[in-house]
Structure 1
Amino acid sequence: MNERSSSNQVNSMSVWLAEGQSSQRDMLKSLQALKAQTPTPFTIIASHRQNRPEILEIADKVYYEPSKQSIASDEQSAPQKALPRWQFVLEHAKQNNVKVILTGRNGIDYEAQRKVFDTAGIRLLTGATSVAALQTIDDKFAFMQQCQAHDIPVATAWRFDNTNELEALLAKHGDQPLCVKPVSGIFAQGFWRLDTGKAATEQYDSFEHLYFTDNKKISTAQFINAYTNSQMVKERPIPMLLMPYLAGQEYSIDVVCENGEVLAAITRHKKGKVQHIGYDSAVMEVVIPLIKAFGCDGIVSVQTKADSDGQHRVLEINSRPSGGIGYTAHSGVDLTQVGFGYWLGLTDKPKLADIVKKITPCQMRAVTTSVKIETEE
C-alpha cells in the first residue's frame, strides 16, 4: 500500500507537497512551524516516488507516488489499478480534504488537469496556470523569445541542433565570450563556458575541464569534438543554445506569486560560499514584469545575471521552489509560510510592499548535515 500515516488524527483540511527537486524537506519543516503557530488545525501530506524517509518523516501523512516502473508492473497484473500520477494524487487528496497541492517536479502533468482539481476545490500550484506557459518556461529558447516580445531584459541565445549550425554561429558571434547550455535542463547540467572572444588568446587547458569540473570551462575545439562525436547526442538529439557569457553578478530570486502578481519575494546572491539575502530593487525591476508576462502562480524561482553594463538580465524561471527556499527564513520572512498561510486561508493576501519592510538583509552559509534513516523491511 502506497501510504504511511504518522498520525491517526483527521484534521479539517490538508496541504500536500508532491515530489520536488531539492527543497521538499525544508518546505515541510516550514509548514510544521506554521502549523505550530496557528490555532487552525491542518494536516501536512507529502509524497514521493522513492522511499525517502529523511524527507517524508517531516510530514504527518505520506503517500508513495506511482512511478513508470510501478505502473508498468501494475498493467501486467491488474491494468485497472494503473493510475497516472495526477489521478492518484487527486483521489487521495479528495479523501484527505486537501485544499492546496504544490506539484513539484511534474507540474505539466498536473496542469493539464487543472479543471478537475478546481472542481474538487483544490488550489493547484504548478508554477503557472496553463500548459503552454509551463512548456515555454521549460524551453529556454522559446522563453527568451517571449521575454523579448515583452521587452524584458533577457540573456540572448542562438539555438543549434548540429555541428554545422554550431560552427556557423561561432563564425558569426565568436568575437565575444560565449557559453553553451541545453534548451531544457536544470542544475546547470550541460552548461560550459567557451574560450572565445578575448579568452581565445588564453585557450582553456583541454585537461582543465576534466579536472576542475566546477569551473564549467572547456576549450571550444574540445567541445565541438565531443559534441560532434557523441553517441549520446546521436541516439538522443539534445537541442543546445550558444549564448554570450555574462560576467556580472548572478542572482536567485524566490517568488510567491498568484496569476502573474508578485505577492512576496526575496533576492539572494552568492560570493564565494556565502549567500547574501535581502531584497534588491534593481533586480526586482526585471522580475516583477517577468512574473506578469508568464502568469506565474505558486512559488517559483528566477535566475538573473548582470551584463558588462550592470543591466540585470533574466536567465530562466524555474516553475517550482528553488533548493534554497529554506534560506529565506534567515531574513525574518519564510516564503513557504507566507505563501501557504495565504493559500490555506490562515492569513490575508500578502502585499509585496509590506513583505519588503519585514525583510532583514543577512548573510548565511549552507552546511552539509546528515540524517539517520531507518530502512523498511
Structure 2
Amino acid sequence: MRVWYNRTFSSVYTAIKLIRQADTEGRFTIVHSNPSRHAPAARLAHEFHTEPTGLDREAYLDWCLAFCRKHAIDIFVPGREATALAGEHARFADIGTRVLSAATGSTLQLLHDKARFYADTELPEAPVAEFRRFENLAEFDAAYAELRARHPKLCVKPSHSIYGLGFAIVDEERSSAALLLAGVEYHIGRDDLRRGLGELGQFRTMLLMEYLDGPEYSVDCVGDEGRLVSAVVRRKPPQAGSGQLIDMRQDILDATERLTRRHRLNGVFNVQFREGGGRPRLLEINPRMSGGIGMACVAGPNLPWIALRGFADGYGQVQVAPVRNGIRVAELAEAMELG
C-alpha cells in the first residue's frame, strides 16, 4: 500500500521513522515530497519526489491529483493545503486515493481561526480563557479596560498563527527595550504596543486574553471520525532542560474526548491546554502532528502507526499500547548528513 506525505511540518520525519519501525511486514511504501531535496524526511521515505513551487491553491490541488494518479497513491496524508484538500476527497476517490484529513474543510477553517473557535467552544472541563478580539487601537483600549479590571495580567496573540508566533504577555511597567535587554522572552511593553497599534491603524484580527500562569499540557491524539482512539498527555515544565512529564490527567482526557467528538477529529492531531485558577483551560486544537509527537510515543502508543494502520484496515485491527503514565521524556537533537 502506497502512502504519500506531501510537504508539511518537520514532525513528518519522526512520523515516517515510527511507521517504518512498526511496519515489520513491510506493507506500506512511504512516499514523501518537498520542494527541497535536502529535507530530512527524504532520507527516511522509500521514495522522494520534488514538489513544485509558486503554484496557487487550485494549481497545487491539480498537481496533487496528478501526482496520486501517476504514482498510484493509495493513501494521501496532506500537510500543505490540508484545509483545501479536506474538501476534495471525492476527486481523489475517483482515482483510487483515500485522503486522511484531520477534519472536514469547514472544521479546519474554524480551528485555524482562534477568535471563531473560542467563541464556538463550550467546554466545562477546560473552558477557554476570557478574551476579546480587536483590529484597531480603540478596540484594544476598550478590551484592555474591560479585561484588566478582572485579571491581573493580560496577553495578546493573532487569531491566525502557528507555533505561538505573535504571542506576548503585556508588561505595564517596562518598555520593550528594557524587556529585550533583560532577556525576557514573549513580553511586550504596553505603551510600546499601543504606539505600534496606533501607527498600524487597522490590522488583522488579534486577541487580548487573560494570561494563564500554570503549567502547559500538550495532548497528542489519534481519532477515528470523532472517537478518541488514543491520547498521551505531556506536561511541559516552566524551565527548559528537564524534559516533559507524561501526566494522564482525567479532566484533560475528558476535555480532549469531548473536543474529538464535537469536531469529529480524525487521524493524528494535538490539543493544547494551560492551567489557570487550578484547572485546565483550552488553548487550541492543532489538526496535525505536534513537534513533540516523538516524546509522546516514547510513553507507549505509536500514534502515527496507529492512525495509518487504523485508516487503512479499520481500528479493530490495531493494537494500542497502554500509556506509561508518570515517566519523564525528552527529545535530543541528532546530527546527520543530508547529502
* Equivalent residue in structure 1 for 2:244, among 275, 281, 299: 275
- Structure index of larger Rg: 1
Match of 2:305 in 1: 337
Match of 1:218 in 2: 188
Distance 2:285 2:332 in 1: 26
Task: Identify if the C-alpha distance between structure 1 residues 212 and 142 changes in structure 2 by more than 3 Å, giving closer, same or farther.
Answer: farther
Distance 2:97 2:183 in 1: 44
Question: What secondary structure sits across from 2:191 in the alignment?
Answer: helix
Match of 1:18 in 2: 6
Q: Does 2:259 correspond to 1:284?
A: no
Q: Does 2:316 correspond to 1:328?
A: no
| Equivalent runs, 1:337-376 vs 2, <5 Å | 337-345=305-313, 348=316, 355=321, 357-374=322-339
Q: Does 2:139 correspond to 1:165?
A: yes
Match of 2:210 in 1: 244
In structure 1, list runs of 5 or more residues that go unmatched: 1-12, 73-81
**Could you tell me the TM-score, scaled by structure 2's length?**
0.90
Deviation at 1:358, TM superposition (A): 4.4
Match of 1:77 in 2: none
Q: Does 2:275 correspond to 1:299?
A: no
**What amino acid is aligned across from residue 259 of structure 1 in structure 2?**
E
Q: Could you report, residue by residue, the CA deviation over 1:101-149 in whole angstroms, capped at 9, with x for unpaired residues? A: 2111421121121211233343322220x22111110100110111138
In structure 2, list runs of 5 or more residues that go unmatched: none
Distance 1:208 1:22 in 2: 34
Distance 1:214 1:267 in 2: 28
Q: Does 2:41 correspond to 1:55?
A: yes
Q: Could you report, residue by residue, the CA deviation over 1:174-215 in whole angstroms, capped at 9, with x for unpaired residues? A: 2321100001000111101013xxxx5xx2353243246662
Q: Does 2:94 correspond to 1:106?
A: no
CA contact (8 A) 1:262 1:288 kept: yes
Match of 1:143 in 2: 117
CA contact (8 A) 1:153 1:313 kept: yes
Task: Identify if the C-alpha distance between structure 1 residues 307 and 350 changes in structure 2 by more than 3 Å, giving closer, same or farther.
Answer: farther
**Higher fraction of helix:** 1
Match of 1:183 in 2: 159
Question: What secondary structure sits across from 2:66 in the alignment?
Answer: helix
* Equivalent residue in structure 2 for 1:204, among 174, 182, 190: 174
Deviation at 1:349, TM superposition (A): 5.1
**Cα RMSD after superposing both structures:** 2.5
CA contact (8 A) 1:160 1:166 kept: yes
Question: What secondary structure sits across from 2:49 in the alignment?
Answer: strand
